[in-house]
Amino acid sequence: MHAIAPLPDGKMPDIGFIDEMGWLMVWGTTLLFVDAILIILLYQKLGRYLRQAQFARILICVACVLTFDQAGFFTALHFVAGAPIAVFFGGWFAKMVAALTFSAMLVAYLRWFEARDVPLPRGLTDIFETLTYRERYEALVEHVGRDGLTGLLHRGRFDADGEAAVEVSLRTARPLSLLIIDVDHFKSINDRFGHAEGDKVLKAVAALLREVASVEDQVFRIGGEEFAILSSRPHPVARLFGESIRYAVKASTVTSRFELTVSAGVSSVSETTTCLGDLFALADQRLYKAKSTGRDRIVGEPGSHEPDTAIAWTKSAQF
């Protein structure tokens, strides 16, 4: 795209011309600074979706940032020097080829060279992760907030997240319900069939709770065989949700050696339950009632009838 041509208005190629173009150089340098930040931020964001597709992750990241860079610099160049649109597409095409080449070279380097001299094994040989450490830090935070056996959020997260959820519910008037779920006769399962079978039951119940919970629900393991769910459902719907859980556990095929059932207590944020402690105490009281009145049942607000399994499942299927 270059050609020999006189400068406009008869100007000579002296230092004064460079001074006039100085702000354009400042703009280009600023773009490079922004590019350096964007390339790391975008790489981190893509890690949520393309963590195992390293080539695609690097290529998309570099291509997007170079497209932004080309658009930003061409805009300034067009207004200063009247550069035609062909300059934009020519430069953009060259940068895309460079992005493809660079991505292939970087992946080859990470796969065949960088990993050789690492004394300790690590999951993903990743130069950007080495630079920022953020992904490993976030993964560590997520890991330490979960129960080791079931993978659910643990009691510490329940205390912190639950209190925050109650505050949001009170401030925004959005419903919030708590279900405390307990595996019936769990001690006898351990005593009769061993702790390995008990662990199998806990894992199966945890998997079922994750499956039936919505994306807005938070599922916790808060004790040995006790689980909790924080749900944005209003109380009647939360109670039917508990019935659907009870039915699903009873119908599961975790083991053929015994019938597996759960009981649960349900409470909701109200004028009398204005903190997590109140909410938990009320749900725990109702769980105790469910246990003492025969187990395999869900207890919610006093005065509500206890639907049988068929009715509960029919109603809960609507939600």
Residue positions annotated with a catalytic role: 225
Nearest to 178 by CA among 114, 232, 119, 123: 232
- Exposure string over 129-157, b if 16+ CB within 10 A, otherwise e: beeeeebeeeeeeeeeeebeebebbbeeb
Tell me the backbone φ, ψ of residue 87, rounded to 5 degrees. Answer: -65, -40
CA distance linking residue 11 with residue 9, whole number of Å? 6
CA 162 – CA 152 distance, rounded (Å): 14
Burial status of residue 62 (CB atoms within 10 A of its CB: 0-12, 13-18, 19 or more):
buried
Looking only at the bridges linking them, the beta strands covering 262-268 and 298-299 are parallel
